[in-house]
Amino acid sequence: MQFAPADPEILARRDAIIADLKALLPGAIVHEPAGLATYDSDALAAYRQTPLACALPANKEEVSALLAYADEQNIPIVPRGAGTSLSGGALPRPDGIVIGLARMNRILEIDLENRCAVVEPGVTNLAVTRAVEADGFYYAPDPSSQVACTIGGNVAENSGGLHCLKYGITTNNLLGVELALAGGERVRLGGKAPTLGGLDLLGIVTGSEGLLGIVVEATLQLRPRPPLTRTLLVAFDEVAAAGRCVAGIIGEGIIPAAMEFMDRRAADAVESYCAPGYPKAAEAILIIEVDGVDGEVRDAATRIERIATQCGASHVRLAADEGERARIWAGRKAAFPATGKIAPDMLCMDGTIPRRALGAMLEQIAAMSVRYGLSFCNVFHAGDGNLHPLIVFDAMRPGELARAEAFGAEILRLCVRMGGVLSGEHGIGVEKRDLMGEMFGEEDLAQQARLKCAVDPKRLFNPDKVFPTLSACVEQGHMHVSGGRLPFANLPRL
């Protein structure tokens, strides 16, 4: 992975910049090497860069002040939540300021009458549900990292989760944001009303990966807790049979709240890690959850059991109580850390394919594993075809990181060829940046670049992410993609 060189003029002013930042936010600037090591990467730990400094604002006014200063001094900024991004979205720049939003962690308002909550960006995903569950409500998106990941990062990456099949990802559960723009101006998009007319600017911001601004406040949709929830654990001796089961369930018009897949490698690693009680020696496991009113749930569970049996399931178990249900899900949520028992390093891919292509895709990944000489586990959201192959390797062994990157890139290219997309919920970041041309043509990328340049003409927000390297914005009349990979014609002014 290559990154744009740091600006030597900014590096030469480092001491003066840090002094200015300390005056701006006394006691909230990290600049010593030991402290900055905390911020040199996100969960995609294969890439590291030490930032010039990290600022930790406590409120939206301090965020605006930082952005005004960065704009005046032409200093890049990188927004950061909890650093759980798996695509390098929070990777800093050596000549840039990381703006860490963890201190902005207040739930500002809970409005059950309008079924929404207004929160700061540093509030964790799970904290929203915990704040309203006593009243019978919850926040639907639930990434596996929900105990740590924050709402600001969820909006930036358009995060999903285990229950996104029925209840949608962040964009389907976000009502509004307050966004801090370049120069520090703040704007509100959306609000408590579920729909607004005009351009869908909120939709543009959701999933923009910090390239357009910083979310300093979010209004989230709350949902009433379903009266009944049932979880089934289904095992198969063949991966293909699990794929047929997934297709059969959706084909019958059943929309489970969640439908998760784990292959044998993943299930064995999880069983060794936290012993959730998964069937031994199964080649594929499905965790299927249905919720709703009593009759609806019981009917769906009965039909799913029938479909699974018809598809050759070797084991079908309905969780007997909430404790067993929690253990089943604890295993799924532990899949990523459990791979640490297989190898010290991991790349978690994030491509999406049509459900009909699941069987062929899994066969191809297995063949790739042999070619690259690296092991993998398959864990993914089976209901919507969002794959998360976990490529495991040892970065201390020469060449393994490069092979892992090539393995992952081939998986993502195949996703696109099968009619899917590069990312389902982790974002593009730096991990998939150089693969954007596999999915988008020149005109597609040019249109996206026009939007970026209109909102951030100096290119200070999260540089080096998503786009193959932008050398200029529309004010200079052209764009360039590194390596000549995707040349663009001159872009007209907006």
**Domain identity same for 113 and 213:** yes
DSSP at 421: B
Same-domain pairing of 73 and 155: no
- Looking at residue 400, which CATH number applies to its domain? 3.30.70.2740
In a domain, 490, yes or no: no
Per-residue model confidence (pLDDT) at position 42: 93
The verdict on residue 424 lying in a domain is no
- Kindly state whether residues 142 and 195 are assigned to the same domain: yes
Write down the pLDDT at residue 358: 86
Which residues fall within 8 angstroms of residue 210, CB to CB, at 6 or more apart?
78, 79, 89, 90, 156, 461, 462, 465
174 & 272 share domain? no
* Beta carbons within 8 Å of 321's beta carbon, 6+ residues apart: none
204 with 269, same domain: the answer is no
Phi-psi region of 55 (alpha: psi -120 to 50; beta: other; left: phi over 0): beta
Reference 307, options 245, 355, 265; nearest CA is: 245
Find tokens 């959701």 and name the residue. Answer: 206
Amino acid at 374: L
DSSP secondary structure, 452-480, as one string: HHHH-TT--BSTTSSSSPP---GGGT---
Of 336, 359, 392, the domain-final residue = 336
- For the chain, the domain total comes to 5
Cβ atoms of residues 284 and 242 within 8 Å? yes
> Residues in the chain, how many?
494
Amino acid at 171: T
Q: Give the pairing of strands 313-318 and 345-348.
A: unpaired
Task: Report the pLDDT value the prediction gives residue 489, as an integer from 0 to 100.
Answer: 34
Contact 358, 385 (CB under 8 A): yes
- Say if residues 215 and 118 touch (Cβ distance below 8 Å): no
Residue 422 inside a domain? The answer is no
Rounded to an integer, what distance in angstroms lies between the CA atom of residue 59 and that of residue 301?
Answer: 47
Nearest to 277 by CA among 317, 246, 237, 336: 317
CA 84 to chain centre: 8
Q: CA 416 to CA 407: how far, in whole Å?
A: 15
Pick from 240, 462, 457, 460: which is nearest to 479 by CA?
457
Phi first, then psi, for residue 330 (nearest 5°) are -60, -35
CATH number at residue 287: 3.30.70.3450
Instruction: To the nearest 10°, report the CA torsion of 459, 463, 468, 470.
Output: 20
* CATH assignment at residue 76: 3.30.43.10
Dihedral sign of CA atoms 143, 147, 152, 153 in order: negative
Residue with tokens 């600006």: 7
Contact 204, 212 (CB under 8 A): yes
Which domain-ending residue is among 53, 73, 100? 100
- Answer whether residue 192 is part of any domain: yes
**Over its length of 494 residues, how does the chain's per-residue pLDDT go in tens digits?**
677 789 999 999 999 999 999 999 999 999 999 999 999 999 988 889 999 999 999 999 999 999 999 999 999 999 999 999 999 999 999 999 999 999 999 999 999 999 999 999 999 999 999 999 999 999 999 998 999 999 999 999 999 999 999 999 999 999 999 999 999 999 999 999 876 678 899 999 999 999 999 999 999 999 999 999 999 999 999 988 998 999 999 999 999 999 999 999 999 999 999 999 999 889 999 999 999 999 999 999 999 999 999 999 999 999 999 999 999 999 998 988 888 888 899 999 999 999 888 888 989 999 999 999 999 999 999 988 899 999 999 999 999 999 999 999 999 999 999 999 999 899 999 999 999 999 999 999 999 999 999 999 999 999 999 998 654 554 444 444 333 333 333 333 33
Query: What gap in Å lies between CA 324 and CA 320, rounded to an integer?
Result: 6
Q: Are residues 137 and 94 in the same domain?
A: no
CA dist list (Å): 254 to 11, 162, 355, 383: 57, 17, 14, 10
Does residue 492 fall inside a structural domain?
no
317 with 303, same domain? yes
DSSP code at position 183: T
Q: Is residue 428 part of a domain?
A: no
The residue out of 68, 100, 132 marking a domain boundary is: 100
Give pLDDT, residue 195: 67
| Residue 436 included in any domain | no
Residue 8, CA distances (Å) to 11, 48, 75, 196, 361 in order? 5, 19, 12, 46, 46
In a domain, 489, yes or no: no
Domain containing 55 equals 8-100
**Spatial contact of 256 and 230, defined as CB atoms under 8 Å apart:** no
Q: Is 477 left (phi over 0), alpha (psi -120 to 50) or beta?
A: left
Residue 40 shares a structural domain with residue 71: yes
3-state secondary structure (DSSP) of residue 80: strand
Q: Are 158 and 207 in contact (CB under 8 A)?
A: yes
The pLDDT score that the predictor gives to residue 473 is: 57
Contacts (Cβ under 8 Å, ≥6 apart) of 164:
140, 141, 381, 384, 386, 425
Q: Assess contact for 255 and 165: CB atoms under 8 A.
A: yes
- Distance in angstroms (rounded) separating the CA atoms of residues 278 and 328: 8
Please state, in angstroms and rounded to a whole number, the distance separating the CA atoms of residues 410 and 96.
Answer: 32
Indicate the DSSP class of residue 490. P
460 and 377 in a single domain? The answer is no
Whether residue 177 sits in one domain with residue 138 = yes
Question: Count of alpha carbons within 13 Å of 389, Cβ hemisphere only?
Answer: 28
Query: 120 and 77, same structural domain?
Result: no
Same structural domain, 254 and 327: yes
